[in-house]
Structure 1
Amino acid sequence: MTIDRINPPGLHTPPGYHHVTLVPAGRTAYLAGQCPLDPAGMVVSPDILRQVDQVATNTLTALTSVPATPEQVVRTVIYVVSDDRTVLSSVWDRLRLSPIGAAFTSASTLLGVAQLGYPGQLVELDVTAALPD
């Protein structure tokens, strides 16, 4: 399976991701939003970077189950409870350096939001992966 990641002429050069990810028709895995929950279903920590680490761990577990790798991710949406660009950047940087870092070379969106689903939750990651036939 070929996954093409492109930045069309006329658009700004993004910091690590691509504007467009193109895959041939085939199987696709849509992961539920991955939250910073431990196996018991509890938010791991009030520390945002520790939450990012748990989200990365959970995402890798979900990808492996289908089976897929971070390199097969074609779209990510990162939700962060913050309107501070420094916080948003620290989450982006931590994810890019995580074991799922390759996932963020595809089409990616980073959003600051007012609230997420679990009390104390600061980060959530939505992932779509292209699977071989």
Structure 2
Amino acid sequence: MSAKITRINPNQLHETPGYHHITVVEAGRTAYLAGQCPLDLQGSLVGPGSLDQQIDQVAANALSALAAVGAQPQHVVRSVIYVCGRETGDLGAAWRRLSSSVIGPAFTSASTLLGVAQLGFSGQLVEVDLTVALPE
């Protein structure tokens, strides 16, 4: 049995491109995943200079982290996406690729998309932070 998750878009707030303004979790356990980076199993940066390749690696890593706690993308209740850069087009491209990735359902909950100046690894362009309502 899973915790009850309700996603809400109040009529008084603007329409969204797929996420919900509010996510309510009724009960259960919660997992807070560390920011998922575009690193391979050996800890090497994947796709230097390629946002698409890095997003694909981040999505694969996030899927593995979710599986490790018995969860799936639809159990995500909050996401924060960090994209290195200030161009709105890059942020939008990152959102679209993540939303259509193997973890796409994670981004239907409350979500924040941020353009940042620097991330933790040299050449890193994207990172995803997820909060999960664990299935029981």
Equivalent residue, structure 2, for 1:132: 135
| 1:59 and 2:83 aligned | no
Give me the identity figure in percent. Answer: 62
Shift of 1:41: 0.3
Equivalent residue, structure 1, for 2:33: 31
| Pairing 1:69-80 to 2, within 5 Å after superposition | 69-80=72-83
TM-score normalised by L of structure 1: 0.98
Q: Is the 8 A contact 2:19 2:107 kept in 1?
A: yes
Shift of 1:49: 0.7
Equivalent residue, structure 2, for 1:3: 5
**CA–CA separation in structure 1 for the residues paired with 2:17 and 2:33:** 24
Equivalent residue, structure 1, for 2:17: 15
Shift of 1:45: 1.1
Match of 2:126 among 118, 123, 127: 123
| 1:95 and 2:98 aligned | yes
Query: Where do 5+ consecutive residues of structure 1 fail to align?
Result: none
**CA–CA separation in structure 1 for the residues paired with 2:20 and 2:135:** 21
Aligned pair count reads 133
What do you get for the CA RMSD once the two structures are aligned?
0.7
**CA–CA separation in structure 2 for the residues paired with 1:132 and 1:15:** 26
TM-score normalised by L of structure 2: 0.96
Runs of 4 or more, structure 1, over 2 Å off, are none
Per-residue Cα deviation, 1:46-81 (whole angstroms, up to 9, x for no partner):
211100000000000000000100000000000000
Shift of 1:18: 0.2
**CA–CA separation in structure 1 for the residues paired with 2:100 and 2:12:** 29
**CA–CA separation in structure 2 for the residues paired with 1:99 and 1:25:** 26
